[in-house]
Amino acid sequence: MGHLDSDLLRTFLAVAHSGSVTDGADRIHRSQSATSIQIKRLERILGRQVFDRHGRGVVLSEAGRQLLPLAQDVTARLDEAHRSLSGAPMKGRLRLGIPDDHGRARLTAIIADFNRRHPKVELDVTCALSAGFPEALAKRRLDLAVYEVETPKPGEELLLEDPTCWVTAQNRDLSNDTTLPLALFDHACWWRHAALHSAEARGKPFRIAYSSQSVQGILAAVEAGIAVGLLGRSSLTAALSVADASYGFSATPSSKLVMASTGHTDTRLVATMKTTIRHAFFGNTATSGRKSQ
């Protein structure tokens, strides 16, 4: 019986995060055939497949999903140990994008922790609506970003899953309004599309009574009792109630908070920040994809 080593785990992570053997090979600067051999060796050691074929790429199997958080934790700890023992201070510049609402307090603490550990690193932080972060990564205006999506794509690492729901002000029933007032995000994003789809499924008139670029803006409108809004359960306050069945809304998807970086290879700075973010969300267990409570 073979033994797992960090090289096999890093190859597995490269393929898992890219969604294909070819792109995974590019990330670790290996040939496709050498990468495939590494994956097959890993599967022989485990006695189970870690990937299933999906179109032109691959997706994690059940065994792969179990291995993912463990591989992330092991490789992150090894990298951190190497950095600590080498004694070489980390330098450079890291461009980071964080959402201006969802998880802001936690992500602000992450930045403070990273800066305390690596004071010579210049952090260039963009705190804004996260809908534009994927494009900013693609155009290399950011090195690393945390943002919300409805469905994670290859290369996007799931940090948190937050169910969405329609909410109203406490003691304010708008379900009998002839034309239901809604509070929606004012930019083209999956949140707005999901809300409109759910509202249209009611088969009754509605109107957009309020638009905002932020969660705080939607919260203000709903708490004021002027509209019903779609929010993540993590954003609920004591002044709000979840809209009941009398409103007739159809089911809405969960929001997924993901982390992604630029290019095929993680730099030392990006890898270190990713480790800091994972530890903030998952602690020592590094259990990927944990749902919010």
pLDDT digits (tens, 9 = 90+) for 142-169: 999 999 888 888 888 888 888 999 999 9
| Whole-model pTM over 0.95 | no
Question: Does 292 have pLDDT greater than 50?
Answer: no
Question: Does 102 have pLDDT greater than 90?
Answer: no
Share of the chain above pLDDT 70, in %: 90
Backbone angles phi, psi at 92, to 5 degrees: 125, -165
Predicted local distance difference test score (pLDDT) of residue 288: 37
| Cβ atoms of residues 157 and 17 within 8 Å | yes
Backbone angles phi, psi at 234, to 5 degrees: -70, -15
End-to-end, the C-alpha distance of the chain in Å comes to 40
Per-residue pLDDT band for 107 (boundaries 50, 70, 90) equals confident
Chain centroid offset of residue 164 CA: 15
Question: Does 290 have pLDDT greater than 50?
Answer: no
Per-residue pLDDT band for 236 (boundaries 50, 70, 90) equals confident
Backbone angles phi, psi at 238, to 5 degrees: -65, -20
Chain centroid offset of residue 110 CA: 15
Q: What is the DSSP string of 108-119?
A: HHHHHHHHHH-T
